[in-house]
Structure formats: C-alpha cells, structure tokens
Amino acid sequence: MYRFSIQLSDVDRGVYETLDLHVARQPSETAEYMLTRVLAWCLEYTEGIALTEGVASGDEPAVLVRDLTGRITAWIEVGAPDAARLHRGSKLAGRVAVYTHRDPGMVLDQLAGKKIHGGDEIPIYTFGRGFIERVAATLPRRASLSLTITERQLYLDVDDQSYSTTVEERMVG
C-alpha cells in the first residue's frame, strides 16, 4: 500500500487541490506502471475520478471518471492497452486517453490499422525519456508529492527530491 499526500496545481486546467491518495500496488504491477497510474489520476483529476485495481482491474481501465448518475465519462488507460480495450472504452465513455511509460512509437504501432471507435480523438500521453524510471526508483511508500503542470511542463517534488519533464501528446488516429 502506498500513501501519498498530494499538492496538485494544474495551471493548464485551473485545478488546485490538496489530495490524499491510497494506492494498492498489485504484486504483478511494476513501480513504473503504478507511478504512471498515479500521474494519470492527477493529470485527469476531476469530480468523480477513481483509481481501479490497475493491472488486476479486468475489464475496467486504470483510471475512470463517473458522473453523478454513475455513467462513465472518461476511460483512462495506462501502459500499452490493446485496440479492443480502447474501442470498448470509447463506446462507453465520452472521453478516452492513454498515459504510457512505454515507448509511444511501440504503442502507436500496436494500434495502427486496428478498428477503434473514435480512435482519431484518443490522445496518448508520454513523459520525457527516463522520467518515470527515475522517479519510480526512489518513490517511498509514504510521500508528500507536489505536482505542478503548466504549459504541459510537469514539475514533481517527492519529499525533498525534484523532477521535471514535458508531457507529450500524440494521437492514435
């Protein structure tokens, strides 16, 4: 179990929150996948957002957003999801996005030519080379995180260590 106290300042979206997040890391889940899941949750933060069980979530994405009626409004995948998952998510939710700690070219190649409902509107977000690996290697089970996003630049303080990267966007279609 990981426990994070997060100071979120997303200048790009006008989201400023102080959050407590408890994350159960599955035995088969890498530290890089879990960190990407946490960052996706922060970068997509809105009312109704929830982390699922990650790699053990079965038919659900890593992160999802539900409205007050319980309808899924955002389907957020992490890693390298297959086309069928994105197709299903796109039909269920108003918005689909992918956050990956993997090579984005590999993810795009894997999806190329596959039938994905609304595929040309699905962004794939990546972080600068080595960023996820550097942070994941030092991430303690209990930490205070300060996350600032401005003009797609991400600044992350983990306790007394500082990291920064650019959040890059590519489209599936």
Nearest one of 18, 32, 17 to 100, comparing CA atoms: 32
54 or 125, greater pLDDT: 125
Q: What is the DSSP letter of 24?
A: P
Confidence (pLDDT) at 52: 85
Mean pLDDT of 106-125: 92
- Confidence at 172, pLDDT banded by 50, 70, 90: confident
Confidence (pLDDT) at 94: 84
Rounded (10°) CA dihedral 90, 104, 46, 55: 80
pLDDT in tens, 1-53: 999 999 999 999 999 999 999 998 888 889 999 999 999 999 999 999 999 87
Place of tokens 């997303």: 10
- Confidence at 57, pLDDT banded by 50, 70, 90: low
Residues contacting residue 81 through CB under 8 Å, at least 6 positions apart? 61, 98
Give 170's strand partners: 124
Q: What is the pTM of this model?
A: 0.93
Task: Give me the residue spans of the domains in the chain.
Answer: 2-171
Is the pLDDT at 54 greater than 90, yes or no?
Answer: no
Phi/psi of residue 26, nearest 5 degrees: -70, 150
Distance of CA 6 to the CA centre of its chain: 15
Helix axes 131-138, 31-43, angle to 10 degrees: 110
Confidence (pLDDT) at 56: 60
Confidence (pLDDT) at 26: 82
Give 19's strand partners: 6
Domain at 2-171: CATH code: 3.10.640.10
pLDDT in tens, 59-98: 889 999 999 999 999 999 999 999 999 999 999 998 999 9
